[in-house]
């Protein structure tokens, strides 16, 4: 079931079409990733969905409500974590979260409880009294997230929440987002980090210059450009090794597209499939070749982007 449906969205800034007939839908209880380079139109799309920006054309529904007609009801469903950190420097962490949660109508005991829970959620429970100017960049990002989610929204929208944070904070943020999804929230997540999107998103839309380039699960997207992956097996070849007959044998195995031998490294191009790699490795073991190392080159979303647009993602 689609929780968010964006249909032919157009948003212009003067002569510039920032979002150009963009359509996608987000299933309830899933993490949907919007991936694209700088200026692709990710923030603009999110700002439209969160009702912060008006739009020129298109239809948007959220939880069955029409964005043009039901703005007030829709606003209550959404928690937004903006790309530019939006917190008050003169308020401490707890006061910041309480302030943003109170905008959604939370009061009294509930306001306090939900705010503490949000700070615990992002790992800032020990920093409740700390003001943002004494925080590290990663802590400010986490506080920014706590402010957006404290009222326990059904739809959480995060615009590049991990920019400028260290690996540990990033892992914490990514795990928290998955936990929010597991608790039932629907999440829209933008990034230009391909790896992050691959790691946490159930479905991904790749956008460029305001347009949808491709949409699907990661394997679906990768299969649009190739069905082949490459494995490199480093081995110790026996003396007087008969490479021709070995090549022939490997080439005849199901799924194998090509074999090349470079010194002691055997490169095998093989169809992406569940057991294909296992069968190749087993063949090496059965032949009695010692395996020194195995590396594989799996096509990723960078490859997809490059193939579809002729440019690098970043």
Ligand X SMILES: Nc1ncnc2c1ncn2[C@@H]1O[C@H](COP(=O)(O)OP(=O)(O)OP(=O)(O)O)[C@@H](O)[C@H]1O
State the residues that interact with Mg ion by CB under 5 A.
42-43, 83
Give me the least distance between CB of 35 and Mg ion, in Å please.
12
Give me the least distance between CB of 83 and Mg ion, in Å please.
5
Separation between Cα atoms, residue 200 and residue 237, nearest integer Å = 41
Q: Which of 32, 44, 118, 212 binds ligand X (CB under 6 A)?
A: 44
Q: Which does 13 bind (CB under 5 to 8 A by kind): Mg ion, ligand X, none?
A: ligand X
Q: Which of 40, 106, 139, 143 binds ligand X (CB under 6 A)?
A: 40
Q: Which of 35, 42, 155, 305 binds ligand X (CB under 6 A)?
A: 42
User: To the nearest 5 percent, what fractions of the chain are helix, strand and coil?
Assistant: 40, 30, 30
> Residue with the closest Cβ to Mg ion?
43
- Number of residues engaging ligand X in binding (CB under 6 A): 13
Q: Which residues, 60 to 89, sit near ligand X by CB under 6 A? A: 83
Separation between Cα atoms, residue 266 and residue 235, nearest integer Å = 8
Write the DSSP symbol of residue 41.
S
The tokens describing 67, both together, are: 């964005």
The tokens describing 131, both together, are: 């003001």
5 binds ligand X (CB under 6 A): no
Contact 19, 11 (CB under 8 A): yes
- As beta bridge partners, residue 62 has 4, 65
Q: Which of 21, 192, 267, 279 binds ligand X (CB under 6 A)?
A: 192
When the beta carbons of 209 and 267 are compared against ligand X, the nearer one is 209
164 binds ligand X (CB under 6 A): no
Q: Which residues, 19 to 38, sit near ligand X by CB under 6 A? A: 36, 38
Q: List CB contacts of 237: < 8 A, sequence separation 6 or more.
A: 243, 264, 289
12 binds ligand X (CB under 6 A): no
For residues 19-48, one letter each, b for 16 or more C-beta atoms within 10 angstroms of the residue's C-beta and e for the rest, the string is: bbebebbbeebebbbbbbbeebbbbbbbbb
18 binds ligand X (CB under 6 A): yes
Binding site for ligand X (CB under 6 A): 13, 16, 18, 36, 38-44, 83, 192
């Amino acid at each position: 079931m689609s929780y968010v449906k964006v249909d032919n969205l157009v948003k212009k800034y003067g002569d510039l079409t920032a979002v150009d007939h963009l359509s996608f839908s987000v299933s309830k209880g899933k993490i949907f990733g919007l991936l694209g380079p700088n200026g692709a139109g990710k923030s603009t799309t999110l700002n439209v969905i969160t009702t912060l920006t008006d739009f020129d054309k298109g239809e948007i529904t959220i939880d069955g409500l029409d964005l043009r007609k039901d703005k007030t009801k829709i606003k209550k469903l959404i928690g937004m974590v903006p790309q530019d950190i939006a917190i008050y420097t003169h308020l401490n962490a707890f006061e910041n979260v309480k302030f943003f949660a109170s905008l959604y109508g939370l009061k009294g005991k509930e306001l306090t409880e939900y705010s503490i829970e949000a700070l615990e959620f992002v790992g800032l429970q020990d920093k409740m009294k700390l003001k943002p100017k004494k925080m590290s960049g990663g802590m400010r990002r986490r506080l920014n997230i706590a402010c957006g989610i404290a009222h326990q929204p059904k739809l959480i929208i995060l615009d590049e929440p991990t920019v400028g944070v260290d690996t540990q904070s990033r892992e914490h943020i990514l795990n928290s987002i998955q936990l929010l999804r597991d608790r039932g929230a629907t999440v829209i997540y933008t990034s230009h980090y391909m790896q992050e999107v691959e790691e946490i998103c159930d479905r991904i839309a790749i956008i460029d210059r305001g347009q949808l380039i491709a949409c699907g699960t990661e394997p679906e997207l990768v299969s649009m450009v190739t069905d082949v992956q490459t494995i490199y097996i480093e081995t110790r070849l026996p003396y007087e090794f008969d490479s021709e007959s070995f090549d022939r044998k490997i080439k005849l195995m199901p799924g194998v597209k090509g074999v090349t031998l470079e010194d002691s490294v055997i490169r095998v191009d093989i169809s992406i499939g569940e057991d294909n790699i296992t069968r190749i490795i087993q063949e090496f073991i059965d032949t009695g070749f010692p395996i020194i190392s195995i590396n594989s080159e799996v096509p990723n979303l960078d490859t997809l982007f490059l193939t579809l647009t002729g440019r690098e993602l970043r």
